[in-house]
Amino acid sequence: MTMIEITDINAPELDVFARTSEVQLYRACEPKLGIFLAESASVILRALEAGYEPLSMLVETERLETEAAPVFEKIAKLWGEEKRDSIPVYTASREIVSELTGYTLVRGLWMTLRRKPMISVEEFCRDKDRITVLFDVVNPTNVGAIIRSAAALGIDGALLTHASVDPLTRRSSRVSMGTVFQIPWTVAGREESEGINLIETLKNYGFKTVAMALTEDSVGIDCEEIRQAGKLAIILGTEGTGLPKEVISASDYRVMIPMYHGVDSLNVAAASAVSFWELGKR
């Protein structure tokens, strides 16, 4: 590896780790696909195994022989020793890295990686039976947790509306424990995401649509008719406001999770796990 000790935290080559927003990274014109930050060895390893190209690293010196070592080995195995040796690895003590980034890194390392081209909604829906749709879910922790549950409970992939948080944001990928690199996902375009457009698109691809919402005609989550559907799209709304009324109305089913002790709702991430377990059965 090309080890570079940090002596000036204001060096421009460190902007990507500390002074560039994740939106700016996403929109970076060189490369056109943009880049993203992954944090912790476990998340980085899963990103590498999924074929994302490593670009640079920031590592606490104390972590070089522990958390960082398997990452270096994985790069050499997947990309070759020449690639491994060409990647700049910026190193410093925990105190200096914390001063640079504003907080202590989880497991003491970050990596920048190149994004992959986004697949279309049509390509995403192909050959899938159970998917989840994240409709304007804007909290990165919830996005990461939902995708982790989807991966663990047998959902084939996650489709996000244009306004939802990018699953490759540092917090989302970390909360997901790297499962954002293990199951397919894509983001619908702005026009595709408007109103009930996405619901109609899913129906055209043969999916029965299930809005997780508490309405007068909601059925229980153990509804056998829904479980027997060949292709099912489980639609989740953002925390607090939930799904738009037009989306709820346009869906084939409205489904609720029975509650006790006067509780009227669950956090969307918790609700996703329950719904994936029950509705993912086939």
Can you give the CATH number for the domain in which 186 is found? 3.40.1280.10
The 3-state secondary structure of 120-187 reads: CHHHHHCCCCEEEEEECCCCHHHHHHHHHHHHHCCCCEEEECCCCCCCCCHHHHHHCCCHHHCCCEEE
pLDDT at 33: 65
104 shares its domain with 127: no
Instruction: Please check whether residue 166 is in contact with residue 180, taking contact to mean a CB–CB distance below 8 angstroms.
Output: no
Q: Which of 82, 114, 146 is the last residue of a domain?
A: 114
109 shares its domain with 211: no
267 shares its domain with 143: yes
105 shares its domain with 125: no
- pLDDT at residue 37 greater than cutoff 70: yes
What is the residue range of 100's domain? Answer: 2-114
142 shares its domain with 203: yes
Report if pTM > 0.95.
no
pLDDT at 266: 84
Q: Which of 88, 114, 140 is the last residue of a domain?
A: 114
pLDDT at 116: 92
Q: Which of 80, 95, 114 is the last residue of a domain?
A: 114
Cβ within 8 Å of residue 29, ≥6 positions away: none
189 shares its domain with 163: yes
184 shares its domain with 254: yes
Number of domains in the chain: 2
Q: How many CB atoms lie within 10 A of CB 106?
A: 15
Average pLDDT of the segment spanning 111-130: 94
- Find the range with the poorest average confidence among 139-143, 185-189, 207-211, 213-217: 213-217
